[in-house]
Amino acid sequence: MAKSSITPSQRSTGDMAPEEFRTAAKDVADRVADYLAGLESRDVLPKLEPGDIRKQLPTTPPREPESLEEILDDFARLIEPNITHWQHPGFMAYFPSVASGPGILGEWLASGLNSNVMFWRNAPASTELEQVVVDWLRGMLGLPDGWDGMFTDTASISSLLSLVAARHAVDGLDSRDQGLAGRPEIGRLRIYISDEAHMSIDKAAIVVGIGRNGIRRIPVDDEYRMRADALAAAIAEDRENGWIPVCVVATLGTTSSTSVDPIAEIEPICRREKVWLHVDAAYAAAAAVLPEKRGYFAGWERSDSIVFNPHKWFFTPFDASLLFFRKGDTFRDAFSLVPEYIKTGVSDEARNYNEYGIQMGRRFRALKMWIQIRWFGVEGLRARLREHCAWAQEFRTWIDDAPDWERLAPVPFSTVCFRYCPPGITDASEIDGRNAAILDAVNASGQFYLSHTKLAGRYTMRLVLGNPRASLDHVRRVWELLRKVAR
């Protein structure tokens, strides 16, 4: 980088001098631009063993100031090459978390402002921009007026907040004031999820005092969707045995196979039983911007809360989760505390986001979303998502047409579940072992990174598309590599 004219020993005791910051910021911008431009020269997965990096770092902090040049050199040598490169077009594991250029710029601007979005008085424009962007996204996803929401860090936290609201909505429970322990007069509380639901719901149950044994898992059909008939039967049986049904969590786009719970059948059961319906659509909600995919979501507009992660398949830098809710007052009643030291005297019309959740201080996430949505435009976002869905369909046909390969789940979005299964091998554990070996070899190539799951007990490879820097050519190349490795 351009050398600063100020040496560490000449620094005043204030912050970095403005001119030094300006020079350094330009250098950092160049580094990030170079990183993004050069991603494909790197291995997606660095070849490292646990501890390799830590042992190259000093165990104690420097006593005296160091030059930024030295610090950034160490960054370039030790940190940048030794992460798993989520931004790499060959990263097709888990779910994508890709930071777009405009999103990164928004993240930088937000950290420059360092606006802490606790309440309106502390963050007027940031609060109101969050209200506007949440409403933009509501409309983009096809949710009707009356839905509101807020940004959180992750789907795990969004779902936790929803479970607290669901618990608060149970008549006569008053857990906000009474807690749950030592109250023999109340029955035990139940949450319903499918066998394929994400572990974040189990964790939320641990936190809200419902516990893992308070979770009832509903079996899935042969396409990994919650069975609505089994849900209705489970709730009826529980009521008979004194349980209090609190919440059903339906997943639209499960983590293993992206299966879609039949929300249009589940929702009427929840209404009839007066049970909160939370929709976990952390990955798949992005697809609701596509009118042709709305069928998968039909009925979610009558649920009570929905979680969508823009930091997954929506190109937003980590972190950004969006918790949509229809009854904001329930969240506010469940969480709001306004002690003297945060009273501002501003009219009640102002939104004070801290009252709707656990955190007081909150990041200014709306800025990167606002910049990104404007830069891509709704049609631009749609075009990219459509491409990912189309490439997934293409890959699906390659699997379906190959006699040695087998598809293990439908492909509603941009994820394909499959395995190698040549005729002649019938031993289940041998098939699993071969697939695990293929996955290891593909990942060792450095060009691609795939992850796996188990579906109906079978080792399953997952190919997930969602990187706006990838192309159909990457999908062709990973298919070639898979076949080569399998042979």
Chain residues binding ligand PLP by CB under 6 A are 95, 154-156, 198, 200, 251, 254-255, 280, 282-283, 309, 321
Closer by beta carbon to ligand PLP, 95 or else 364: 95
For residue 43, give every residue at least 6 positions away whose Cβ sits within 8 Å of its Cβ, in sequence order, or none: 85, 446, 447
> How much helix, strand and coil, in percent to the nearest 5, is found in the chain?
45, 15, 40
Residue 78 beta carbon to ligand PLP: minimum distance, rounded to whole angstroms: 26
How many Cβ atoms from other residues are within 10 Å of residue 140's Cβ? Answer: 16
CB-CB contact of 259 with 224 (8 Å): yes
Residue 159 beta carbon to ligand PLP: minimum distance, rounded to whole angstroms: 7
Helix (H, G, I), strand (E, B), or coil: what is residue 316?
coil
Residue 454 beta carbon to ligand PLP: minimum distance, rounded to whole angstroms: 16
Cα gap 452→110, rounded to integer Å:
36
Closer by beta carbon to ligand PLP, 289 or else 481: 289
Nearest of 121, 178, 26, 166 to residue 350 by alpha carbon: 121
Residue 255 beta carbon to ligand PLP: minimum distance, rounded to whole angstroms: 4
Residue 282 beta carbon to ligand PLP: minimum distance, rounded to whole angstroms: 4
Q: Exposure of 62 by Cβ count < 10 A (0-12 exposed, 13-18 middle, 19+ buried)?
A: exposed
Closer by beta carbon to ligand PLP, 309 or else 447: 309
How many Cβ atoms from other residues are within 10 Å of residue 436's Cβ? Answer: 13
Closer by beta carbon to ligand PLP, 154 or else 359: 154
Nearest of 277, 324, 340 to residue 133 by alpha carbon: 324
The angle at the Cα of 249, spanning 246 to 254, to the nearest 5 degrees, equals 165
Residue 171 beta carbon to ligand PLP: minimum distance, rounded to whole angstroms: 28
Residue 114 beta carbon to ligand PLP: minimum distance, rounded to whole angstroms: 23
Q: 427: which DSSP letter?
A: -
Closer by beta carbon to ligand PLP, 4 or else 255: 255
Residue 175 beta carbon to ligand PLP: minimum distance, rounded to whole angstroms: 23
Closer by beta carbon to ligand PLP, 130 or else 280: 280
Residue 434 beta carbon to ligand PLP: minimum distance, rounded to whole angstroms: 27
Nearest of 108, 461, 142, 93 to residue 312 by alpha carbon: 93
For residue 47, give every residue at least 6 positions away whose Cβ sits within 8 Å of its Cβ, in sequence order, or none: 446
Closer by beta carbon to ligand PLP, 118 or else 282: 282
Q: Which residues of 391-400 are buried (b: 16+ CB within 10 A; e: fewer)?
A: bbeebbebbe
Closer by beta carbon to ligand PLP, 305 or else 321: 321
Closer by beta carbon to ligand PLP, 175 or else 309: 309
Cα gap 187→203, rounded to integer Å:
21
Residue 275 beta carbon to ligand PLP: minimum distance, rounded to whole angstroms: 20
In one-letter notation, the amino acid at residue 406 is E
Closer by beta carbon to ligand PLP, 85 or else 312: 312
| Strand 215-218 versus strand 189-194 pairing type | parallel
Residue 389 beta carbon to ligand PLP: minimum distance, rounded to whole angstroms: 17
Residue 381 beta carbon to ligand PLP: minimum distance, rounded to whole angstroms: 19
Closer by beta carbon to ligand PLP, 160 or else 438: 160
Cα gap 85→83, rounded to integer Å:
6
CB-CB contact of 300 with 279 (8 Å): yes
Closer by beta carbon to ligand PLP, 283 or else 459: 283
Q: How far from 405 is each of 6, 144, 431, CA to CA, in Å?
A: 62, 42, 11
Cα gap 471→464, rounded to integer Å:
13
Supply 169's token pair.
Answer: 């909505």
Helix (H, G, I), strand (E, B), or coil: what is residue 87?
coil
Nearest of 126, 105, 102, 104 to residue 114 by alpha carbon: 126
CB-CB contact of 372 with 315 (8 Å): yes
Cα gap 205→208, rounded to integer Å:
5
Supply 195's token pair.
Answer: 């066998």
Residue 309 beta carbon to ligand PLP: minimum distance, rounded to whole angstroms: 5
Closer by beta carbon to ligand PLP, 24 or else 464: 464
